[in-house]
Amino acid sequence: MNQQGPPAVDPDDRPYRHYSLKSRMVSWVSQHLFDGVTYTSRHGLTAGMKRKGGLGWLPMQPDATAEQHFWEKLDLAGRTIYDVGAFQGILTLFFASRGKQVVSYEPSSRNHARLLENVRLNHLTNVTVRNIGLGSSRRTASLCFMPLMPGGASIDAGAQESISRFDHAAEQIQITTLDEDIRDNALPAPDFIKIDIEGLESEALLGARQTLAAHPTLFLEMHGETMNEKRRKVAEVVAILEQAGYREILHVESSTRISSANASVAATGHLYCPS
């Protein structure tokens, strides 16, 4: 009698292994030994600016990523920039030093507090910080995160399943739509929107239909817990962008022009949509 083993699992359905031991060790050192230290960044996008958090005071300079090269070459002069998923403010500080005005969204209470600290340390007067998340509707959600890796905090079910394999915590946050937040708080219309919210990018776009009608420039990071999930999510994002009238959608890492026909090319990395 032949016995059949368990069905083979498609490698592209296997979850990624996030949070390596090395990255957790580096984060532990940063949080437990240097978290309260104010320093001047020695390299990267915030070079010369004051910060708390991270190890930007170390003399060695990490290799620049394609994303860093992208930001360094981008002309943001005179632009109103929205930093959606601001974490502790590295890009917010950079945007504030290059652009006209910055509106930053960070729903995590811990990250929000550090973001405010970093804005104040640099005496920035052109930054508005919003302690709220963005989605497709107004609601309350549970934000799950690893205390050692707070940058990966997410309300996405797939991301939460991965986070739950480690020591983790959660907090209740408020979600609204970008359209409602701009209207209800008389915020300036964005010229440029960066979105990096751990898998909820399509939800944020759906809640910004009125804002996207003006075709602000967009920059989005793609997420997903498996390769197939990444492909599904990027297809959703590209479909929404095309429906909103964006005709030039570029994959930052490969410089490939993206459409619904080849969206999977951009499953990893970032999308850039000029206005």
pLDDT tens string 232-251: 999 999 999 999 999 999 99
Q: Residue 9 domain-assigned?
A: no
- Which pLDDT band, with edges at 50, 70 and 90, does 152 fall under? confident
Q: How many domains does the chain have?
A: 1
Q: Residue 101 domain-assigned?
A: yes
Residue 169 in this model has a pLDDT that exceeds 90: no
**Residue whose pair of structure tokens reads 């708390």 in the numeric block:** 52
pTM for this entry = 0.93
What's the rounded mean pLDDT across residues 192-217? 96
What's the rounded mean pLDDT across residues 195-209? 95
- Domain boundaries, position 170: 20-273
Q: What is the CATH number of the domain that holds 184?
A: 3.40.50.150
Kindly state the tokens that stand for 206.
């759906």
- Judge whether 104 and 194 are in contact, CB under 8 Å: no
What's the rounded mean pLDDT across residues 183-194? 98
Q: Residue 217 domain-assigned?
A: yes
Q: Residue 6 domain-assigned?
A: no
Give, in order, the Cα–Cα distances in Å from 30 to each of 25, 27, 92, 204: 9, 5, 20, 31
Kindly state the tokens that stand for 88.
């502790």
What's the rounded mean pLDDT across residues 29-57? 93
What's the rounded mean pLDDT across residues 153-164? 75
Q: Residue 54 domain-assigned?
A: yes
- Judge whether 225 and 159 are in contact, CB under 8 Å: yes
Q: Residue 7 domain-assigned?
A: no
User: Among residues of the chain, what percentage have pLDDT more than 70?
Assistant: 96
- Judge whether 206 and 134 are in contact, CB under 8 Å: no
Amino acid making up residue 242: E
* Inter-helix orientation angle 90-98/109-121, to 10°: 40
Give, in order, the Cα–Cα distances in Å from 31 to each of 28, 160, 257: 5, 22, 40
Residue 104 in this model has a pLDDT that exceeds 60: yes
Burial code of 242-272, b = ≥16 C-beta within 10 A, e = fewer?
eebebeebbbbeeeeebeeeebbbbbbbbbb
| Neighbouring residues of 207: CB distance < 8 A, sequence distance ≥ 6 | 134, 135, 136, 137, 176, 177, 178, 179, 180
Q: Residue 43 domain-assigned?
A: yes
Q: Residue 5 domain-assigned?
A: no
Give, in order, the Cα–Cα distances in Å from 66 to each of 69, 72, 161: 5, 10, 29
